[in-house]
Chains A and B, each alone.
Chain A
Amino acid sequence: MYDRLEAFLSDNRWGPRDIPNAVKAYLQCSRENRETASAGVRGDVDRLATAVPSVPKPIWEDFLLGIAEIQTYHAQERKLSVEAEARNERASREAIQETTAIIETLAQTGELDPKLQGVVSAFQTALGGNDLEKIHEAASEIWTSCRLKQELLRDHSCADLAKIGEKLRETHMDNFARAEKESEQFGEVLGKQKEALFTRYHTAASQLMTAHSEIRTSLLEHTRHRKQELFSSLPEIHFHSWPELAEDPTMFPFTVPGSPVEHQLALRTLHNLDLRAAIEERFHVDLGRIPLRSQLHLFQFLADRDRTGAIRFENLARQQGEDSSDFATSFLAASEGKEGGDLILGVAEQLPADMATRVFKHYANIVRNIDTGRDELQRIFGVDPDDGALRETIQALISRSNAFLKQVMRNPNSTQVLARLERASADSELFTAAFRTLKEGRDIPFETIKDVTFEKESGIEFGADTAAVEKAKLLFSEAYAQESEVFRSAVVHSFLAATKSADTHFYVLRYKGEPASLLRFDEIHAENGELAKLYFGSFISDAALGNGKLGEALFEESLRLETARGVPIEADCNPLSPITQKYIEAGFVAVAVADYAGLQSFSIRLDERLNAQSVTKKWTPEEVVRAGLEKPPGDTIQVMSGKDPQDIPLNLIQQGYALTRYFKQGNRVYAVFERLSSAGKGVA
Chain B
Amino acid sequence: MPRTRKAHLGHPRMEPRARHEKGGEIHSTLSILEDMYSEKSGPRFDTGDIFENENPEEFLRTLVEFAEKKEAVTDRHFTDDPRLLATCGEIRESFFQSTGSVDEYIPLFDRLRLVARATRIRAIRKTFGGHLNSGLTYSLAFTEDSTFTHLEDTLEELSVSEQIDILHQLETVAADASANGQWSRPALERIHQVYIDLANDKELPLLTSIAANTILARINNEYENPQLGVVRYSGQENDSRLSTLLNSEKAQTYKEQSERLGRQMRTNLPPGRAAWFAPLGSDTLVAFDATLMPIAFAR
With beta carbons under 8 angstroms apart, the residue of B75, B120, B286 that contacts A271 is: B286
In the assembled complex, which residues on chain A have CB atoms less than 8 Å from the CB atom of B298?
237-240
Tell yes or no: B202 within 8 A of A by CB.
Answer: yes
Tell yes or no: A243 within 8 A of B by CB.
Answer: yes
Query: Within residues 204 to 250 of chain A, which ones have a CB less than 8 A from any CB in chain B?
Result: 231-232, 234-245
In the assembled complex, which residues on chain B have CB atoms less than 8 Å from the CB atom of A290?
281-282
In the assembled complex, which residues on chain A have CB atoms less than 8 Å from the CB atom of B132?
none
Query: Within residues 258 to 290 of chain B, which ones have a CB less than 8 A from any CB in chain A?
Result: 263-269, 278-288
Tell yes or no: A277 within 8 A of B by CB.
Answer: yes
Looking at A184-192, A260-268, A425-433, A445-453, the stretch in contact with chain B turns out to be A260-268
- Most chain A C-beta atoms within 10 Å of own C-beta, residue among B75, B284, B288: B284
A234 and B261 CA atoms in complex are apart in Å by 11
Contact between chains at A304 and B205 (CB < 8 Å): yes
Looking at B26-34, B145-153, B179-187, B207-215, the stretch in contact with chain A turns out to be B207-215
Looking at A20-28, A281-289, A488-496, A537-545, the stretch in contact with chain B turns out to be A281-289
With beta carbons under 8 angstroms apart, the residue of A240, A272, A288 that contacts B281 is: A288
Query: Within residues 210 to 229 of chain B, which ones have a CB less than 8 A from any CB in chain A?
Result: 210-211, 213-214, 218
In the assembled complex, which residues on chain B have CB atoms less than 8 Å from the CB atom of A409?
none
In the assembled complex, which residues on chain B have CB atoms less than 8 Å from the CB atom of A303?
159-161, 205, 207-208
With beta carbons under 8 angstroms apart, the residue of A231, A236, A242, A275 that contacts B297 is: A242
Binary contact track B123-162/A, C-beta < 8 Å → 1, others 0: 0000000000000000000000000000000001001111
Tell yes or no: B66 within 8 A of A by CB.
Answer: no
Query: On chain B, which size bracket covers the interface?
Result: 35 or more
Looking at A83-91, A119-127, A305-313, A623-631, the stretch in contact with chain B turns out to be A305-313
Contact between chains at A269 and B248 (CB < 8 Å): no
CB distance from A317 to the nearest CB of B (A): 13
Tell yes or no: A295 within 8 A of B by CB.
Answer: yes
In the assembled complex, which residues on chain A have CB atoms less than 8 Å from the CB atom of B204?
305
Contact between chains at A274 and B244 (CB < 8 Å): yes
Query: On chain A, which size bracket covers the interface?
Result: 35 or more
A274 and B208 CA atoms in complex are apart in Å by 13
With beta carbons under 8 angstroms apart, the residue of B206, B244, B263, B296 that contacts A273 is: B244
Contact between chains at B76 and A241 (CB < 8 Å): yes
A236 and B269 CA atoms in complex are apart in Å by 11
In the assembled complex, which residues on chain A have CB atoms less than 8 Å from the CB atom of B294?
242, 267-268, 271
Tell yes or no: B245 within 8 A of A by CB.
Answer: yes
Contact between chains at A299 and B207 (CB < 8 Å): yes
Contact between chains at B72 and A243 (CB < 8 Å): yes
A485 and B78 CA atoms in complex are apart in Å by 67
Tell yes or no: A420 within 8 A of B by CB.
Answer: no
Contact between chains at A262 and B244 (CB < 8 Å): no
Contact between chains at A238 and B210 (CB < 8 Å): no
- A294 and chain B: residue at smallest CB distance: B281
Contact between chains at B78 and A273 (CB < 8 Å): no
A291 and B280 CA atoms in complex are apart in Å by 8
Tell yes or no: B5 within 8 A of A by CB.
Answer: no
- A245 and chain B: residue at smallest CB distance: B297
Tell yes or no: B58 within 8 A of A by CB.
Answer: no
Tell yes or no: B86 within 8 A of A by CB.
Answer: no
Contact A310-B214, Cβ < 8 Å, known A241-B75, A269-B164: no
Tell yes or no: B295 within 8 A of A by CB.
Answer: yes
A291 and B218 CA atoms in complex are apart in Å by 28
CB distance from B223 to the nearest CB of A (A): 17
Tell yes or no: B254 within 8 A of A by CB.
Answer: yes
Contact A269-B160, Cβ < 8 Å, known A278-B213, A371-B283: yes
Tell yes or no: B232 within 8 A of A by CB.
Answer: no
With beta carbons under 8 angstroms apart, the residue of A262, A279, A282 that contacts B161 is: A262
Contact A265-B162, Cβ < 8 Å, known A272-B168, A289-B282, A310-B207: yes
Tell yes or no: B77 within 8 A of A by CB.
Answer: yes
Query: Within residues 166 to 206 of chain B, which ones have a CB less than 8 A from any CB in chain A?
Result: 168, 202, 204-206
With beta carbons under 8 angstroms apart, the residue of A239, A277, A279, A291 that contacts B282 is: A291
Tell yes or no: B40 within 8 A of A by CB.
Answer: no
Tell yes or no: B250 within 8 A of A by CB.
Answer: yes
Tell yes or no: B90 within 8 A of A by CB.
Answer: no
Contact between chains at B299 and A375 (CB < 8 Å): yes
A271 and B286 CA atoms in complex are apart in Å by 8
- A32 and chain B: residue at smallest CB distance: B263
Query: Within residues 346 to 381 of chain A, which ones have a CB less than 8 A from any CB in chain B?
Result: 368, 371, 375
Contact between chains at B266 and A275 (CB < 8 Å): no
Contact A237-B282, Cβ < 8 Å, known A274-B214, A279-B207: no
A260 and B148 CA atoms in complex are apart in Å by 28
- B276 and chain A: residue at smallest CB distance: A273
Tell yes or no: A136 within 8 A of B by CB.
Answer: no
CB distance from A196 to the nearest CB of B (A): 42
In the assembled complex, which residues on chain B have CB atoms less than 8 Å from the CB atom of A270?
280
In the assembled complex, which residues on chain A have CB atoms less than 8 Å from the CB atom of B268?
236-239
CB distance from A362 to the nearest CB of B (A): 17
Contact between chains at B266 and A231 (CB < 8 Å): yes
Contact A244-B269, Cβ < 8 Å, known A272-B292, A307-B202, A310-B206: no
Tell yes or no: B60 within 8 A of A by CB.
Answer: no
CB distance from A672 to the nearest CB of B (A): 43
Query: Within residues 44 to 65 of chain B, which ones have a CB less than 8 A from any CB in chain A?
Result: none
In the assembled complex, which residues on chain B have CB atoms less than 8 Å from the CB atom of A305?
156, 204-205
Contact A282-B210, Cβ < 8 Å, known A274-B248, A303-B160: yes
Tell yes or no: B165 within 8 A of A by CB.
Answer: yes
A581 and B207 CA atoms in complex are apart in Å by 61
A238 and B299 CA atoms in complex are apart in Å by 8
- A232 and chain B: residue at smallest CB distance: B266
Contact between chains at B206 and A278 (CB < 8 Å): no
CB distance from B32 to the nearest CB of A (A): 24
Contact between chains at B165 and A265 (CB < 8 Å): yes
Contact between chains at A237 and B161 (CB < 8 Å): no
Contact A273-B254, Cβ < 8 Å, known A237-B285, A292-B280: yes
CB distance from A304 to the nearest CB of B (A): 6
Contact between chains at B210 and A275 (CB < 8 Å): yes
Tell yes or no: B9 within 8 A of A by CB.
Answer: no
Tell yes or no: B114 within 8 A of A by CB.
Answer: no
Contact between chains at B282 and A288 (CB < 8 Å): yes
In the assembled complex, which residues on chain A have CB atoms less than 8 Å from the CB atom of B214?
274-275, 277-278
A212 and B294 CA atoms in complex are apart in Å by 44
CB distance from B5 to the nearest CB of A (A): 31
Contact A273-B160, Cβ < 8 Å, known A241-B78, A242-B297: no
In the assembled complex, which residues on chain A have CB atoms less than 8 Å from the CB atom of B279?
288
CB distance from A301 to the nearest CB of B (A): 10
Contact A268-B250, Cβ < 8 Å, known A237-B265, A305-B205: no
CB distance from B286 to the nearest CB of A (A): 6
Contact between chains at A239 and B267 (CB < 8 Å): yes
In the assembled complex, which residues on chain A have CB atoms less than 8 Å from the CB atom of B7?
none
A156 and B267 CA atoms in complex are apart in Å by 77
- B254 and chain A: residue at smallest CB distance: A273
A395 and B183 CA atoms in complex are apart in Å by 56
Contact A241-B296, Cβ < 8 Å, known A291-B283, A311-B206: yes
In the assembled complex, which residues on chain A have CB atoms less than 8 Å from the CB atom of B283?
291-292, 371
Contact between chains at A242 and B295 (CB < 8 Å): yes
A273 and B247 CA atoms in complex are apart in Å by 12
Query: Within residues 146 to 183 of chain A, which ones have a CB less than 8 A from any CB in chain B?
Result: none
CB distance from A246 to the nearest CB of B (A): 10
Interface residues of B, Cβ cutoff 8 Å to A: 68, 72, 75-78, 120, 156, 159-162, 164-165, 168, 202, 204-208, 210-211, 213-214, 218, 244-245, 248, 250, 254, 263-269, 278-288, 292-299
Known: A277-B250, A292-B284, A302-B206; 15 extra A-B contacts, CB below 8 A, are A231-B266, A236-B268, A237-B285, A238-B267, A239-B267, A241-B78, A241-B296, A269-B160, A271-B294, A272-B211, A273-B292, A274-B214, A274-B218, A288-B280, A295-B280
Closest 7 CB pairs of A and B: A303-B160, A239-B296, A310-B206, A265-B161, A292-B281, A292-B284, A241-B76
Q: Pull 12 A–B residue pairs with CB atoms less than 8 Å apart, ordered by A.
A: A232-B266, A237-B265, A239-B267, A241-B75, A243-B75, A267-B294, A274-B214, A275-B164, A288-B279, A304-B205, A305-B204, A307-B205
